[in-house]
Amino acid sequence: MCSSHQTVERNTFGRYWTNPTFRRWSYPIGAIAIVLALGFAGLRLRDLIASAFAQISSLTLPALALVAACWITMVVSRGLVYRLTHSRLQFRHGVILDQVNLAAANGLPGGAVVGIAARMKISRQLGHSSEQAALTVFASGQAFAVGRWVCLVVVICTSIILRGSTAADFIELGSAAVALFLSCLIWIVLSNDTRLSRAALHFAENLITRTSRTKGAFRRARFRASITRFRSGATDLVRERAPQLIGAGAISTLLGALILVVVIDDLSPVAVSSTDVLRAYLLARVATAFVPTPGGVGVLDGAITAGLVAAGVDPAIALSAVIVYRAVTFALPIAIGSILYLVWHKTEGREKEFEPEDDGTTTPGSDASSAAPLPTAA
């Protein structure tokens, strides 16, 4: 007979991530590697980079105003995605969640995990249950991902209608359609009680618990009740707010592409199809979705630049557009998200929207069915 006190080691990466020595050295080593790679690329492309910055200095005020308007609208649409995940979440809290997540993802090695932990912490401090906090993180990510694939499918179809089809068009369209179907399937699986959904949720629980400092949020939850509340909230969101979530996610993606269109249109003496610019941008985004560097730095920039050049944009102008785009969507969120998090941390004691919901911490003898459900998306 096996001892009842025997333990099973789970989530090995999480064990290493919480190791102080590993965390202390992983950040500087990763940062040094990125700086060296970018420095080498800068030396090799110094003439092109100098030409790109010269192009940026010639941007007109109307173009800069349009870029600023695109960025503001993008922040609003991204904050709206988070707002739609919870019926009682305020819009300003959605903006904070989004910008803090971007600051972590863009500014830190392994920032995606740190961003999850930060959003979980803020949501819990707002009084949300652990399941609702996890649903907010999951639903926002799905909204942005599905919205991006929807945009790509629409842009490819538009290109086919305007200029005819090629074999590459059908390959890209088929791949995008499959990815869109799989993204929707993930939501459907987690919204229904299946063995696969239970395994996925169990993995997410272990990952967040092991890699975040919000200890107790998931550890204390009775797993069965947690799954029920998470699935109930996911089902409500799909039924009531899926179009709004996907629409807001798609708009935020298109606004990022529109920044490139504005800069290229202002600088390029040769007319370049906006559809080609959108297509190049979207293909680069989906192709570099899982790049491990913070914010896809280096890789995403090169992919977008190469796509724009292939679409007929002058290399210096393409690089100029990418530099402006990354300044707005990479560097700016790091500064804004860091400031918002510091301000939030300073005033967190006065920011609770409502009392914390039941997260499964009731006594073992209590009735599980009495646990408070997630707020519906009505």
pLDDT one-digit tens code per residue, 267-277: 987 778 889 99
At residue 37, the pLDDT reads: 65
CA nearest neighbour of 302 among 49, 11, 3: 49
pLDDT at 133: 87
Q: What is the predicted pLDDT for the residue at 288?
A: 83
Per-residue HEC secondary structure of 143-166 comes to HHHHHHHHHHHHHHHHHHHHHCCC
Give me the pLDDT at residue 208, please.
57
Q: Residue 205 in contact with residue 218, Cβ under 8 Å?
A: yes
Q: 307: which DSSP letter?
A: H
* pLDDT level of residue 62 (50, 70, 90 thresholds): very high
Min mean pLDDT across 114-123, 178-187, 199-208, 340-349 is at 199-208
Q: Which residue has the higher pLDDT, 299 or 151?
A: 151
pLDDT in tens, 119-166: 888 888 888 888 888 888 888 988 999 999 999 999 999 989 988 888
Identify the band that residue 172 occupies on the pLDDT scale cut at 50, 70 and 90. Answer: confident
Q: Closest by alpha carbon to 154, among 297, 51, 257, 287?
A: 257
pLDDT of res. 378? 32
Determine which of 9-13, 62-66, 301-305 has the lowest per-residue pLDDT on average. 9-13
Torsion angle of the four alpha carbons 172, 137, 327, 292, in this order, in degrees rounded to the nearest 10: -60
Eight-class DSSP state of 331: I
Looking at residue 144, what is its pLDDT? 93
Which of 143, 357, 94 minimizes the C-alpha distance to 250? 143
Answer whether residue 301 shows pLDDT above 60.
yes
| Residue 69 pLDDT | 96
pLDDT tens digits along 72-129? 999 999 999 999 988 788 899 999 999 999 998 888 877 788 888 888 888 888 888 8
356 pLDDT exceeds 80? no
Express each pLDDT in 203-243 by its tens digit: 766 665 555 554 454 454 455 566 677 777 788 888 888 89
Contact between 316 and 47 (Cβ < 8 Å): no
User: Residue 281's pLDDT is what?
Assistant: 94
Per-residue pLDDT for 361 more than 80? no
**Per residue in 5-32, pLDDT tens?**
444 444 444 444 455 665 566 666 666 7
pLDDT of residue 183: 82
The answer, yes or no, to whether residue 336 has pLDDT greater than 80, is: yes
321, 313 contact by CB (below 8 A): yes
CA dist., res. 331 & res. 328, Å (int): 6
Long-range pairs of 367-374 with CB within 8 A, sequence gap ≥ 24: 368/222, 368/224, 368/225, 371/222, 371/225, 371/228, 371/229, 372/129, 373/229, 373/232, 373/233, 374/129, 374/131, 374/132, 374/135, 374/229, 374/230, 374/232, 374/233, 374/236
pLDDT above 90 (res 46): no
Q: What is the pLDDT of residue 131?
A: 80
What is the residue-averaged pLDDT of the chain?
Answer: 77
Q: What is the arithmetic mean of pLDDT over 323-337?
A: 92
Percent of the chain scored above 90 by pLDDT? 28
pLDDT at residue 358 greater than cutoff 50: no
Q: Looking at 102-106, 180-184, 241-245, 279-283, which range is the least confident one?
A: 180-184
Burial of 201 per CB tally in 10 Å (0-12, 13-18, 19+): buried
pLDDT of residue 354: 47
> To which H or E segment does residue 3 belong?
none
